[in-house]
Amino acid sequence: MKEIKIRRSVRSFSDRDVDDSLIEQLLRAGMNAPSAVNQQPWEYLVIRNDADKKYIASMGPISGSAAVAPVDILMLSRTVDLQLPELVNLDMSMAAENIMLEAVYLGLGSVFLTVVPYPERMKYIADRFKLPETVAPFGVIALGYPSWDRLNHEVDRFESERIHWGAY
């Protein structure tokens, strides 16, 4: 599928804004991810405020994209009413990939910035956005229109040695 082939981590964005309707389409894709026993642990906080984006950018050594992207999507996971809490981070990761692929489909670029599993980053983010204990920050997807339309481009990472047929 084209979107899987050409998706790259995009860290340089044009000034063009991203409509709320597109953000909704991205998050609709996230909500369509599989989750353990369909527990759908996700919520989303859409951040456009410059001060908030700069704050996020300072959470770690390679989080700078959060400040330069027009939109940061803070992915949150529910901490209550979960049948299989031990699988929430898998659910959230699959939702993140859906959002990043849908972004490619819409001509956008994105990069995933890690929050989980680092307690100090989780607290740093939860404090800023006054998150209740019923949700935890999972990660941030910084996104926008790429500054150059070839930033998403095909790279073939296929290595046949990674496939074992029938036995290891």
Per CB under 8 A, contacts with its own copies among 50-69 are none
Tokens 């935890």, located at residue = 136
Compute how many residues bind its own copies; rule: CB under 8 A: 63
How far apart CA 56 and CA 51 sit, in angstroms, is 9
Q: CB under 8 A: which stretch of 11-19, 53-61, 142-150, 159-167 binds its own copies?
A: 159-167
**Residue 41 structure tokens:** 């642990």
State the nearest-atom distance from the C-beta of 14 to its own copies, in Å.
Answer: 21
**Residue 47 structure tokens:** 């951040």
Q: Which helix (H) or strand (E) holds 101?
A: helix 88-105
Burial of 95 (0-12, 13-18, 19+ CB in 10 A): buried
Per CB under 8 A, contacts with its own copies among 74-113 are 76, 86-87, 89-90, 93-94, 96-98, 100-102, 105, 112
**Residue 160 structure tokens:** 């046949």
Is residue 106 within 8 A of residue 25, CB to CB? The reply is: yes
Per CB under 8 A, contacts with its own copies among 12-41 are 20, 23-24, 27-29, 31-34, 36, 40
Instruction: Return residues touching its own copies (CB under 8 A).
Output: 1, 3-5, 7, 9, 20, 23-24, 27-29, 31-34, 36, 40, 42-49, 76, 86-87, 89-90, 93-94, 96-98, 100-102, 105, 112, 114, 116-117, 129-132, 135, 139, 155-160, 162-168
